Structure 1
Amino acid sequence: MLTPQRINKARLSSGLVLFTYVTIHLINHSLGLISVAAMQAMLDVVENIWESIPGTIVLYGAFLLHIALALFALYRRRALRMPGPEAAQLCLGFLIPFLLAQHLAATRLLYSLYDGDDTYRAELLRLYTLAPSRGMLQLILLVAAWIHGSIGLNYSLRLRSWYPTLKPLLFAVAVLIPILAILGFVEGGREIAELARDPDWLSRQLAHHAITPQAQAHLDRLRDWMRGTMTVLILLVLALRLIRRQWERRRGTFRVTYPDGRRIEALNGMSVLEVSRLARIPHASVCGGRGRCSTCRIRVVGPASALPDLSDAEMKVLHRLSAPPNVRLACQLRPTGDIAATPLLPPTIAASDKLVRSTHMTGSEREIAILFADIRAFTELAEHKLPYDVVFLLNRYFEEMGRAIEGAGGQVDKFIGDGIMALFGVESSIEEGCRAALAAAAAMSERLVHLNQMLSADLARPLRIGIGIHAGPTIIGEMGFGRTVSVTAIGDAVNTASRLEAMTKEAGVELIVSEIVARHAATDLDRFPALEIMVRGRAQPLTIRSIPLGSDLAQ
């Protein structure tokens, strides 16, 4: 069955073959910085691969398949409005065949039909000295193909976890290779132009490689035929799009209502992502609508009859996210009736952000452990210091505590003044979360001792902290507005953890842990005094453990 995923894989595979060919071609050109002989030496090796029967079949088969799939992709699009890089890739993709027609006529067809000279020397003589405008067109062709392929590779790789790290290096390579190729072509052309100053050498070359006017006219007709065929195919696809549009209008329309109240009418067959783009509504889509990144996901409200069944690919992505039933991928959902759609991720999200916001960020209930920590008497300490010193001190403190939290497997939720809120077990179990929270408390206590030693000359007295840890059901999701959107947790368990941290000041201890945390962590805290307390906002008493120092847990 020809599914969108198989079509995407076929486009990627054929594109990689063509991109490999273009890369080798550009590297071959860059050897002109050494000499024309170096260019020819590499060409002799490469020709044995691409001009062999298997190489020819693979290369031309990949080209024809890539063009066919590009035309099919153009037909499948319900809206031609798209992000800039995607539009650039599309335009360059359809420009390449028109530029390639001239190149094929002047090279491969000339060699095959009229026994033309296929050496770099003859090629540079034609394209650099005799017809520089054609040489410029060939460089434009290579650069256009390189940019087209680079954009496609970027879309394919940007979801890989290692890609953000290597992206600067890959970008540098992507810029450097075509520049070196252009410089190599120019330098090789200059070498041939210097030889062409000798009239005898030039006359011998022209006499040996000249073709008749009839042959040139034949090559020009073949070039025009290739361009005309491509033009007809593009116009045919556009005409079929218009016919489909009229047919779909008769089938009916549907409406998508967005959170801001806008209600957009669209033709049946359009995806929600295409509706957003058509209406210029910002909508995240890191992978370009290929159903891979999940950043376009939406919460849907509407009758079941308006929502087509999940495809296997969409089901796989949503299952990986542990998404609730009312969450769908906007790029895959093609409603058949009116729905309300709420995008769940900000439109400015980047590929690296997507890797972090994996499972429970759409708003879900999770049992986790929550840790609050606060510096004791910090206001009194700060009023005797310069603002710069206060910022320096807090940043050192936050760095040490943040490393302790992340080292134990937790994640810092936010810094609140001189306080810290951290979550544990968001991507694991409540048991693992509670064990990690206790380990973090012990590490924070130990790091505080080290920090006090480091800052002893700047502190009138050592820093002291209070830590409260509790566990229970919370609501986790992305909350905030604009740039302040972040993953956080709310609920009674969060409030209770905050109140336990406040109680450490009254109790004169560094750490208070609820018995619930100890039970989930399967940790014996019987050596520490237990106390049953009433916490504001809770109807039932809560058993807690008062621990003088967090580092006592490590013992």
Structure 2
Amino acid sequence: MPSTPSFFALAAARGNRWLGRVRLVTGLILFAYVLTHNLNHALGIVSLRWLEAGRYVFLAFWRFPPIEWALFIAVFLHLTVALIALYRRRSLKMPFWEGAQLVLGLATPPLLMLHVLGTAYASERFDFEDSYAYVLLSLWVFLPGYGALQALAVLTTWIHGCIGMGYWLRLKPWFPKARPCLFAFAVVLPVLALIGFADAGRAVAEKLEDETWLPALKERDRWPDATAATDVHQLQIMGFWICGALLGGVLVARVIRDQIGRARAIEIQYENGAKVRIQSGMTVLEASRSANIPHASVCGGRGRCSTCRVKILKGAAQLPIPSDDERRVLARVGAAPDTRLACQLRPNAPLTVAPLLPAQAGPQQAHARGDYHSGRELEIAVLFADLRGFTQLSEQRLPYDVVFLLNRYFKAMGEAVSGAGGHLDKFIGDGVMALFGIESGMAGDDGQRACTQALEAARRMSVNLEELNRHLVSDLKQPLRIGIGIHFGPVIVGDMGYGANQHLTAIGDTVNTASRLETATKEFGAQLVISDLVARRGGLAFDLMSLHQLQLRGREQTLGVLAFPSAQVERADAAE
């Protein structure tokens, strides 16, 4: 059993939960600000007048005192959480996009400091109007070097925000369909914002040809004198020092912490034999990354997606219990009791783990799935189907024609399986393996639904094959023929394979028997051979005189089977 959590462990878990929520909420506020600011910039494509009109709407919202204070607090908290997260990281090895988000986030304050001080701060401090004309003259005409930095800041803040939004949204069920449109918008918006900035900058530069325009603008907007510029630049330098000191302080604190923690190293061993020595407080996910061990983590280690989950092979008794958030995520995916999230598990004693998902796992594997994916014994129906004589049929054909025929055949068979409610396990050469009743088997069903679905799939396969033969009558010397075998019984179901080839399948004597029944269709000259158990539970009426006894290899007792010339058999209740 996991060890009882200490007061400090509970406090740390609650702290992690609140830090995550603060980062998300403040990030959404700041993203909304950057989004609307870039939309405002894009209006410069139309005209300087439209740009200024958009600014009034933008400021009416964001400089409304309650919202403005919420924005300032969000900036402060977001930066604070970022520094805390940087300190808490036990390893700086991370995937590219996580690293990009971190670097861009740390680069944002220095890049935006002069712009914020020269507009929001200075306009309040010296009581003048920081219009777009004032900003564009400063950044496009008088100080083009700073203008280039602000263009870089537009890209930096936007990409940083989009990465964060991507990590948050990629777990939403609707996101895969919306992703292309959102990606296009994310690419187009900063381009439009920069074009609008450049067009408006050229428009302002043209207005300078009128010698009366600039004095009138200065008088209208009450431009400050040189003292204001000196004050702003001094604050900018001070801000640079503060940012540098905070970042340097965090990095120094990390070094001191790591030096102290070296004496309390903990060994993590992986199922493949790899070993990593880590410091106390380091997560299993960080351990994997520090040792360059591929490990899935769709949400970036934020404890939301569950794709980093591991099976604890040894050392579970010494582990701290999972936090409420970790327990909630594990329950959502139906994880076994010995499963933990690698990004949340901070071991305090040696342990052995096995990652449960391939390193290439995607967002779809983060959603709730039946716990049979991790391995379970169920009673289900297994169907095998195989084309007859396809080897001879394909000998005189071009490879393109063979692939074309097989793909048409696989499509017809796959539609039959899915239409009947089954799970298409795999295509084996020119054969098909399908599973029926996994969900009902989880619920303790007696197999009636599984066998009914399997028989319906066989019927649809036969119908679809006849339809395919009609379409290909001019391409085939003789029609395609199929043999189908179905058996019901206990199997072990779970995700099996390696890497990207891992998928849900079944193993066991029932699978072997179903394969043997498919082979037996040749002996009986039949299209469908099923065990008597499938016939009874599938609701077929049959005469005992038609029951054949089939001897299976490795079995002393024979198996009662039924053979049908066509798989288009009707259930007794359906016939009535």
Q: TM over 0.5, yes or no? A: yes
1:472 maps to what in 2? 489
Q: Does 1:217 align with 2:233?
A: no
- What is the RMSD of the two structures over their aligned residues, measured on CA atoms? 2.3
Q: 1:147-201, CA deviations, whole angstroms, 9 ceiling, x for partnerless residues? A: 0110011111112222222212211110000000000000001111000122332
Q: Does 1:269 align with 2:263?
A: no
1:341 maps to amino acid: V
Q: Does 1:239 align with 2:232?
A: no
1:475 maps to amino acid: I
Give, in angstroms, the shift of residue 19 of structure 1: 0.6
2:351 maps to what in 1? 339
1:458 maps to amino acid: D
2:423 maps to what in 1? 411
1:457 maps to what in 2? 474
Q: 1:261-308, CA deviations, whole angstroms, 9 ceiling, x for partnerless residues? A: 222111111111110111111111111112222221222221333322
Q: Does 63-72 or 226-235 show the bigger shift?
A: 226-235
Contact 2:382 2:486 in 1 (8 A): yes
Q: Does 1:88 align with 2:115?
A: no
2:518 maps to what in 1? 501
Q: Does 455-464 or 204-213 show the bigger shift?
A: 204-213
Give, in angstroms, the shift of residue 346 of structure 1: 1.7
Matched positions, count:
553
1:515 maps to amino acid: D
Q: Does 23-32 or 367-376 show the bigger shift?
A: 367-376
In the alignment, which of 11, 14, 36 is matched to residue 24 of structure 1? Answer: 36
Q: Does 1:129 align with 2:146?
A: no
2:7 maps to what in 1? none
2:48 maps to what in 1? 36
Give, in angstroms, the shift of residue 483 of structure 1: 4.7
2:405 maps to amino acid: L
Structure 2: how far apart are the matches of 1:538 and 1:255?
48
In the alignment, which of 319, 327, 339 is matched to residue 331 of structure 2? Answer: 319
Give, in angstroms, the shift of residue 357 of structure 1: 6.9
- TM-score, normalising length from structure 1? 0.94
Distance 1:516 1:354, change over 3 A: farther
1:103 maps to amino acid: H
Q: Does 1:548 align with 2:561?
A: no
Within a 5 Å distance, the mapping from 1:433-448 to structure 2 comes to 433-448=450-465
Q: 1:182-238, CA deviations, whole angstroms, 9 ceiling, x for partnerless residues? A: 000000011110001223323443566543332222122222233322322222322
Could you list the runs of 4 or more consecutive aligned residues of structure 1 that deviate by over 6 angstroms after TM superposition?
Answer: none
2:522 maps to amino acid: K
In the alignment, which of 503, 506, 513 is matched to residue 489 of structure 1? Answer: 506
Contact 2:334 2:368 in 1 (8 A): no
Secondary structure at the residue paired with 2:108?
A: helix
Structure 2: how far apart are the matches of 1:335 and 1:260?
19
In the alignment, which of 177, 195, 198 is matched to residue 186 of structure 1? Answer: 198
- TM-score, normalising length from structure 2? 0.90
1:219 maps to amino acid: V
Q: Does 531-540 or 118-127 show the bigger shift?
A: 531-540
Contact 1:321 1:360 in 2 (8 A): no
Contact 2:516 2:552 in 1 (8 A): yes
Structure 2: how far apart are the matches of 1:538 and 1:319?
41
Give, in angstroms, the shift of residue 482 of structure 1: 4.7
1:289 maps to what in 2? 301
Contact 1:79 1:274 in 2 (8 A): yes
Give, in angstroms, the shift of residue 66 of structure 1: 1.2
Structure 1: how far apart are the matches of 2:51 and 2:39?
9
- The gaps in structure 2 that reach 5 residues or longer are 1-10
Give, in angstroms, the shift of residue 469 of structure 1: 1.3
Q: 1:300-357, CA deviations, whole angstroms, 9 ceiling, x for partnerless residues? A: 2213333221222222232333333332221122222211222222212222455597
2:4 maps to what in 1? none
Structure 2: how far apart are the matches of 1:248 and 1:310?
23
Q: 1:375-410, CA deviations, whole angstroms, 9 ceiling, x for partnerless residues? A: 122223223433332222111111111111122222
In the alignment, which of 240, 248, 269 is matched to residue 261 of structure 2? Answer: 248
Q: Does 436-445 or 509-518 show the bigger shift?
A: 509-518
2:434 maps to what in 1? 422
Contact 1:320 1:359 in 2 (8 A): no
Structure 1: how far apart are the matches of 2:248 and 2:533?
69
In the alignment, which of 373, 378, 382 is matched to residue 370 of structure 1? Answer: 382
Secondary structure at the residue paired with 1:551?
A: coil
Structure 2: how far apart are the matches of 1:49 and 1:207?
26
Within a 5 Å distance, the mapping from 1:297-308 to structure 2 comes to 297-308=309-320
Structure 2: how far apart are the matches of 1:162 and 1:242?
42
Give, in angstroms, the shift of residue 358 of structure 1: 6.0
Contact 2:40 2:58 in 1 (8 A): no
Structure 2: how far apart are the matches of 1:152 and 1:436?
44
Identity among equivalent positions (%) equals 45
2:255 maps to amino acid: L
1:221 maps to amino acid: Q
Contact 1:293 1:354 in 2 (8 A): yes
1:535 maps to amino acid: L
Distance 1:434 1:335, change over 3 A: farther
Contact 2:360 2:499 in 1 (8 A): no
Structure 2: how far apart are the matches of 1:538 and 1:311?
50
Contact 2:307 2:365 in 1 (8 A): no
Q: Does 1:64 align with 2:76?
A: yes
Contact 2:417 2:423 in 1 (8 A): yes
Give, in angstroms, the shift of residue 13 of structure 1: 1.5
Contact 1:164 1:352 in 2 (8 A): no
Contact 2:316 2:351 in 1 (8 A): no
Distance 1:320 1:353, change over 3 A: closer
Give, in angstroms, the shift of residue 23 of structure 1: 0.6
- The gaps in structure 1 that reach 5 residues or longer are none
Structure 2: how far apart are the matches of 1:297 and 1:304?
14
1:390 maps to what in 2? 402
Contact 1:466 1:510 in 2 (8 A): yes
Q: Does 501-510 or 527-536 show the bigger shift?
A: 527-536
Contact 1:323 1:360 in 2 (8 A): no
